[in-house]
C-alpha cells in the first residue's frame, strides 16, 4: 500500500555545510542528536551538517540515499504520534566499502567534531577495566593497517592525517552509555596511538579534546509495521523512520578544540542542552537509575514473558521492584547532581517506562549484557558492598542475566541471546551443569566481573539463581520485595 505514496524528499531549505562526522549513525543518534543539532542551528546558525558513517553494514545508507538522507522522527506519546522531518544529515558513508573516503572526510579541516554512537562494544574495551582490548580482531587489524575497521582505529588514523596536514584535531564527542565516555575514549585512542606512533599520541594528549556526555532518550527499534503506519500518517514513504519518546536530556562537558576563526561547536545550549564542567554526577545518575533498571526489566522481564518495558513496568510486582531498586539500592549508591531530587527523577523514569505508545522490547535491551552489566549493575553493587548496604535486587539481576544467557526462559522457550561475547558465554554455559557450577562459570569471566567482586557475591548469586530456576522470575522478585 505505502509503495504508491511519494518518497520523502528534501524541502529545498538551504543546506548547512558539514561540520560533524558521526560514527555509528543508528536510530539513536537520528532520534536524539540530529534533532538537537538542528535546533541549535535554527537558533544560532553555524555549519553543522552531519556526515554519517556506518562502520559495519550498508542498510542505513541504502534506505536513506534514495530520499537524499532526509528522514522522519516520530515522537510517541500516549496522546498520539508526532512526526518531524530532519534534514541535517548530508550523506552516509559505509566504512567497509571505502575506509579511505571516511578518513578523508574526518581529516578535512571543516570537520570540527567527530561524534560517536557505536554502542558499548564499539569501543573495543574490556568491560571490567575500560582498557583497550588488544585481543580484539579489529584492534589487531587496525594496529597493523592504515585503513581501519574499528571506531578507535578510525579516530586514531584520522587524527594522524590531520596532524600530518597541520590541522588541529577534531573534538571527539562520545554519545554512548559508558561511564566517563569522553575520558574512556581518550584513553583508548591514546593507547592505540602510542602503539602506532608515540609522537602522534603526545600530540593527541596535548591538543585533543574528548568531552564526556550524558545522553538520554528512549528509542525503540523501528519495525516494518511502523514504516507502513508512518507512511500513512505523513503521506510520504520513508524507508527508515525513527521513533522516540518525548523526553530528551543531553549533558555535555564544555571542552572543545578551539578552531581559529570558526565556531568550535554548535550552540548546544540554544537547544536546551546542559553544558557543564563535569558530567559525572549526571552520568552516574542516568547509567544507574535508568540503564540499571532497564537491564533489570530486560532480564527479569524477558524470563517471565514480558515483551516490552511497558508490559514489565505495569506489572505490579515489577513496579514495586523498580521502586525498591531505586530507593534502596541505586539512589544511595552515588551522589546526585546539585539540585536534583532523585525521588522525582525516579518517578519521572517510571512514567517514561509506562508510556503506552512505546514498544521497547526487553529483548532489545537484553543484548550485550556482558558490555552493560559492569557500569549498570556491578558498579552500584560494589559501592553498596563497600558501604555495607544489602543489594538483593542487584544480585537477582545478575542471576537473571545468567539464566538469560543460559538460553531458556521461564516457560521453557529458547532465547535468541545476542552478545558481543556470545562465543565465550555459550562455551561457559556448555561446559557447566546448571546451578552453582553455571553461576561460577559465568562469574569467572574476568573481563566482565572483577575477580574480587565475583568471589564476594558468588554465594548470594547462587542462592538467587536457585530461587529463579525453581520459581521463575516473577515469584523470585516477589520473594525479595519489602513486606513480602
Ligand atoms: C537501553 C538504552 O538498550 C539499552 O541498553 O537501556 O538504550 C536506553 O534506552 C537509553 O540509554 C535511554 O537513554
Residue 125 above 90 pLDDT?
A: yes
Closest residue to atom 3 of ligand 1, CA basis: 365
What is the three-class DSSP state of 3?
helix
d(CA 242, CA 177): 19
Same-domain check for residues 254 and 336: no
Q: How many independent structural domains does the chain possess?
A: 2
For the stretch 277-286, pLDDT in tens is: 999 999 999 9
Average pLDDT in the chain: 97
Claim: this prediction has a pTM higher than 0.75: yes
Q: Give the confidence band of 5 by pLDDT, cuts at 50, 70, 90.
A: very high
Stretch 304-329: mean pLDDT: 98
Same-domain check for residues 408 and 441: yes
Same-domain check for residues 302 and 212: no
Same-domain check for residues 337 and 255: no
What separation in Å is there between the alpha carbon of 173 and the centre of ligand 1? 18
Same-domain check for residues 285 and 273: no
Query: Per residue, what are the HEC states of 254-319?
Result: CCCCCCCCCCCCCCHHHHCCEEECCCHHHHHHHHHHHHHHHHHHHHHHHHCCCCEHHHHHCCHHHH
Buried b (16+ CB within 10 A) or exposed e, 230-243: bbebbebbbbbbbb
Residue after which a domain boundary falls, among 237, 256, 277: 277
Domain hosting residue 132, numbered range: 2-277
Stretch 192-215: mean pLDDT: 98
Return the ligand 1 atom nearest residue 360 CA: 9
Residue 144 above 80 pLDDT?
A: yes
Same-domain check for residues 291 and 264: no
Same-domain check for residues 78 and 218: yes
Stretch 18-22: mean pLDDT: 98
Is the Cβ atom of 291 under 6 angstroms away from ligand 1? yes
pLDDT > 70: what percent of the chain?
Answer: 99
Q: Give the confidence band of 207 by pLDDT, cuts at 50, 70, 90.
A: very high
CATH at residue 385: 1.10.1040.10
Residue 1 above 60 pLDDT?
A: no
Same-domain check for residues 264 and 371: no
d(CA 260, CA 35): 27
Would you state the torsion angle of the CA atoms of residues 155, 160, 163, 169, taken in this order, to the nearest 10 degrees?
A: 10
What separation in Å is there between the alpha carbon of 285 and the centre of ligand 1? 13
Residue after which a domain boundary falls, among 224, 249, 277: 277
Q: Give the confidence band of 296 by pLDDT, cuts at 50, 70, 90.
A: very high
CATH at residue 270: 3.40.50.720
CB 399 within 8 A of CB 473: no
For the stretch 332-356, pLDDT in tens is: 999 999 999 999 999 999 999 999 9
- Predicted pLDDT of residue 483: 75
- Site to probe by mutation for ligand 1, drawn from 221, 248, 291 as the one with most ligand atoms within 8 Å of Cβ, is 291
Residue after which a domain boundary falls, among 245, 277, 309: 277
Q: Give the confidence band of 267 by pLDDT, cuts at 50, 70, 90.
A: very high
Same-domain check for residues 239 and 359: no
CB 432 within 8 A of CB 403: no
- Predicted pLDDT of residue 4: 85
Stretch 71-90: mean pLDDT: 98
- Predicted pLDDT of residue 241: 98
Residue 191 above 70 pLDDT?
A: yes
Compute how many other C-beta atoms are within 10 angstroms of the C-beta atom of residue 388.
6
CB 130 within 8 A of CB 183: no
Is the Cβ atom of 217 under 6 angstroms away from ligand 1? yes
CB 394 within 8 A of CB 380: yes
d(CA 249, CA 398): 28
Same-domain check for residues 8 and 62: yes
Stretch 50-65: mean pLDDT: 98
Is the Cβ atom of 218 under 6 angstroms away from ligand 1? yes
Q: Which residue has the cell 574512556?
A: 184
What separation in Å is there between the alpha carbon of 291 and the centre of ligand 1? 6
Stretch 415-433: mean pLDDT: 98
Stretch 377-388: mean pLDDT: 98
Is the Cβ atom of 108 under 6 angstroms away from ligand 1? no
- Predicted pLDDT of residue 484: 62
Q: Give the confidence band of 106 by pLDDT, cuts at 50, 70, 90.
A: very high
Same-domain check for residues 247 and 292: no
Query: Euclidean distance between the first and final Cα of the chain, in Å?
Result: 52
Same-domain check for residues 324 and 473: yes
Amino acid at each position: 500500500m505505502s509503495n504508491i505514496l511519494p518518497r520523502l524528499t528534501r524541502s529545498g531549505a538551504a543546506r548547512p555545510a558539514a561540520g560533524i562526522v558521526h560514527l555509528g549513525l543508528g536510530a539513536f543518534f537520528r532520534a536524539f542528536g540530529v534533532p538537537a543539532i538542528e535546533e541549535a542551528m535554527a537558533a544560532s546558525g553555524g555549519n553543522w551538517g552531519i556526515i554519517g558513517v556506518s562502520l559495519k553494514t550498508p542498510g542505513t545508507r541504502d534506505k536513506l540515499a534514495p530520499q537524499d538522507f532526509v528522514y522522519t522522527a516520530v515522537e510517541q506519546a500516549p496522546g498520539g504520534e508526532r512526526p518531524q522531518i530532519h534534514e541535517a544529515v548530508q550523506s552516509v558513508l559505509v566504512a567497509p566499502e571505502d575506509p579511505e573516503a571516511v578518513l578523508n572526510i574526518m581529516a578535512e579541516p571543516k570537520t570540527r567534531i567527530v561524534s560517536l554512537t557505536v554502542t558499548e562494544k564499539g569501543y573495543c574495551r574490556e568491560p571490567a577495566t575500560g582498557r583497550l582490548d588488544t585481543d580484539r580482531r579489529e584492534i589487531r587489524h587496525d594496529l597493523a593497517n592504515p585503513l581501519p575497521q574499528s571506531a578507535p582505529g578510525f579516530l586514531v588514523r584520522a587524527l594522524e592525517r590531520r596532524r600530518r596536514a597541520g590541522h588541529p584535531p577534531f573534538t571527539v564527542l562520545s554519545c554512548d552509555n559508558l561511564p566517563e565516555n569522553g575520558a574512556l575514549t581518550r584513553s583508548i585512542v591514546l593507547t592505540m596511538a602510542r602503539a602506532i606512533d608515540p609522537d602522534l599520541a603526545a600530540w593527541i594528549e596535548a591538543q585533543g579534546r574528548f568531552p564526556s556526555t550524558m545522553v538520554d532518550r528512549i528509542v525503540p527499534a523501528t519495525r516494518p509495521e511502523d514504516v507502513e503506519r508512518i507512511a500513512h500518517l505523513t503521506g510520504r514513504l520513508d524507508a527508515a523512520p525513527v521513533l522516540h519518546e518525548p523526553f530528551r536530556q543531553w549533558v555535555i562537558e564544555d571542552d572543545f578544540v578551539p578552531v581559529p576563526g570558526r565556531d568550535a561547536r554548535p550552540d548546544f545550549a540554544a537547544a536546551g542542552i546542559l553544558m557543564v564542567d563535569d558530567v559525572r554526577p549526571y552520568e552516574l545518575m542516568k547509567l544507574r537509575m535508568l540503564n540499571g533498571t532497564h537491564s533489570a526489566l530486560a532480564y527479569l522481564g524477558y524470563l517471565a514473558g514480558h515483551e516490552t518495558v511497558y508490559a514489565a513496568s505495569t506489572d505490579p510486582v515489577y513496579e514495586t521492584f523498580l521502586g525498591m531498586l531505586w530507593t534502596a539500592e541505586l539512589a544511595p549508591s552515588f551522589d546526585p547532581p546539585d539540585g536534583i531530587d532523585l525521588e522525582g527523577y525516579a518517578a519521572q523514569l517510571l512514567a517514561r517506562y509506562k508510556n503506552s505508545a512505546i514498544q521497547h522490547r526487553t529483548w532489545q535491551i537484553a543484548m550485550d549484557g556482558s558490555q552493560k552489566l559492569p557500569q549498570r549493575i556491578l558498579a552500584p553493587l560494589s559501592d553498596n558492598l563497600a558501604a555495607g548496604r544489602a543489594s538483593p535486587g542487584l544480585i537477582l539481576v545478575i542471576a537473571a542475566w545468567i539464566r538469560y544467557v543460559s538460553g531458556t526462559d521461564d516457560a521453557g522457550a529458547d532465547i535468541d541471546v545476542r552478545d558481543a561475547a556470545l562465543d565465550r558465554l555459550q562455551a561457559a554455559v556448555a561446559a557447566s551443569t546448571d546451578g552453582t557450577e553455571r553461576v561460577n562459570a559465568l562469574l569467572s569471566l574476568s573481563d566482565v566481573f572483577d575477580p574480587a567482586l565475583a568471589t564476594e557475591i558468588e554465594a548470594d548469586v547462587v542462592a538467587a539463581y536457585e530461587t529463579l530456576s525453581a520459581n521463575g522470575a516473577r515469584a523470585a522478585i516477589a520473594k525479595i520485595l519489602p513486606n513480602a
